[in-house]
């Protein structure tokens, strides 16, 4: 597989006792080295932040993808999560499993390449913000 994974990806993961969580990822693929960022809502009750930000560092080899998501700042029960999965043939989906280090907590995830550019998504998000 030679498809570059650089781009914006819409994702979901399933977390036991919480359900489906959506997230937005920006991936940068530099010759198989993966980096990027993730934004997702806080789904735990009493969470002091409404949105979590995280960085991604990992790799792609053929169709296999693995990365670590590190929450910034860590805390609120969030630190890092390991992801392992596979890219489909046309590099439009990444699916697999996530797991917490040192715990049995794990689940599935799916990322779908966005058909919009990051610029148009940012513009669209700003139009949804309430006017102050």
Checking if the pLDDT of 34 tops 60, the result is: yes
Checking if the pLDDT of 122 tops 80, the result is: no
Model pTM score: 0.81
Q: How many CA atoms within 13 Å lie on the side-chain side of 70? A: 8
Q: Which H/E stretch holds residue 27?
A: strand 19-30
| Cα–Cα distance measured from residue 5 to residue 27, given in angstroms and rounded to the nearest whole number | 7
| Cα–Cα distance measured from residue 69 to residue 53, given in angstroms and rounded to the nearest whole number | 10
Q: Which of 12, 52, 8 is nearest to 26 (CA)?
A: 8
Checking if the pLDDT of 116 tops 60, the result is: no
Average pLDDT, the chain: 86
pLDDT of residue 1: 47
Q: Span 48-52, mean pLDDT?
A: 82
């Amino acid at each position: 597989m030679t498809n570059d994974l650089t781009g914006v990806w819409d994702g979901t993961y399933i977390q036991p006792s919480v359900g489906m969580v959506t997230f937005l990822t920006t991936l940068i693929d530099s010759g198989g080295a993966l980096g990027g960022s993730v934004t997702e809502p806080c789904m735990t009750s009493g969470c002091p932040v409404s949105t979590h930000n995280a960085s991604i560092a990992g790799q792609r080899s053929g169709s296999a993808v693995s990365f670590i998501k590190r929450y910034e700042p860590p805390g609120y029960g969030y630190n890092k999560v390991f992801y392992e999965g596979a890219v489909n043939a046309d590099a439009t989906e990444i699916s697999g499993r996530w797991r917490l280090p040192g715990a049995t907590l794990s689940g599935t995830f799916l990322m779908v390449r966005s058909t919009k550019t990051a610029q148009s998504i940012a513009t669209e998000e700003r139009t949804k913000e309430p006017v102050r």
